A = this chain, B = another copy of it.
């Protein structure tokens, strides 16, 4: 079994913000702001390692059925993150349904990729059915997002929750039990070590 090199594209599902807040006696919506710094730390880590592309599950159209203070809080945290990584040179693409739900109008310009740094795809107001329904007109709506090699999810859940179903078909799935605001670089180091040991067959 040959060891593999670095993943070319990693998906991140930063789950557990609300449970983290509740565990600290805070209102649920306060969890999201504590996810920004970890996000930036992980962004810098990916850049320095040389990962060419990452995708982040920010929020879905379904998430916008949550109570308004939560919606306001996760939207605000995602916007802050998007602005900051753009300032730091990310080649940003925002993937989501801008025709319904809560797609942020301020980010409409990122519906086409901007910049030439590390590719970062942020899923905002994303919905897997919306994504696949693009096939009716020729191709999935997330056609600018490449196939995923590795998906890392925080918060212990062992499911995709609608995350990029087409790009995920052959991805290796690594789970961190800690909640996202408790991110440590060691989580991703472990995920990469584990990834290198996986056999890649693609059905052959």
Interface, chain A (partner B; CB < 8 A): 60, 62-63, 65-66, 128, 132-133, 135-136, 157-162, 165-166, 168-174, 198-199, 201-204
- The answer to whether A160 and B166 touch across the interface, beta carbons within 8 angstroms, is no
Contacts of A157 in B (CB 8 A): 172, 198-199
- The answer to whether B158 and A174 touch across the interface, beta carbons within 8 angstroms, is yes
Give A190 to B174 CA distance when docked, in angstroms.
20
Give A198 to B203 CA distance when docked, in angstroms.
30
Contacts of A166 in B (CB 8 A): 132, 165
Evaluate whether A161 and B169 lie within 8 angstroms (CB atoms) in the complex, with A132-B132, A132-B135, A136-B136 already known. yes
Of A135, A158, A174, A198, most buried by chain B (CB within 10 Å of CB) is A158
- The answer to whether A159 and B136 touch across the interface, beta carbons within 8 angstroms, is no
Least Cβ–Cβ distance between A92 and chain B, in angstroms:
24
Which secondary structure characterizes the binding site on chain A? loop
- The answer to whether B132 and A159 touch across the interface, beta carbons within 8 angstroms, is no
Contacts of A135 in B (CB 8 A): 132-133, 135-136
Least Cβ–Cβ distance between A126 and chain B, in angstroms:
10
Least Cβ–Cβ distance between A204 and chain B, in angstroms:
6
- The answer to whether A128 and B60 touch across the interface, beta carbons within 8 angstroms, is no
- The answer to whether A169 and B128 touch across the interface, beta carbons within 8 angstroms, is yes
- The answer to whether A165 and B162 touch across the interface, beta carbons within 8 angstroms, is no
Evaluate whether A202 and B62 lie within 8 angstroms (CB atoms) in the complex, with A132-B135, A136-B135, A136-B136 already known. yes
- The answer to whether B133 and A159 touch across the interface, beta carbons within 8 angstroms, is no
Evaluate whether A170 and B165 lie within 8 angstroms (CB atoms) in the complex, with A132-B135, A133-B135 already known. no
Contacts of A201 in B (CB 8 A): 161
Contacts of A203 in B (CB 8 A): 60, 62-63, 65, 161-162
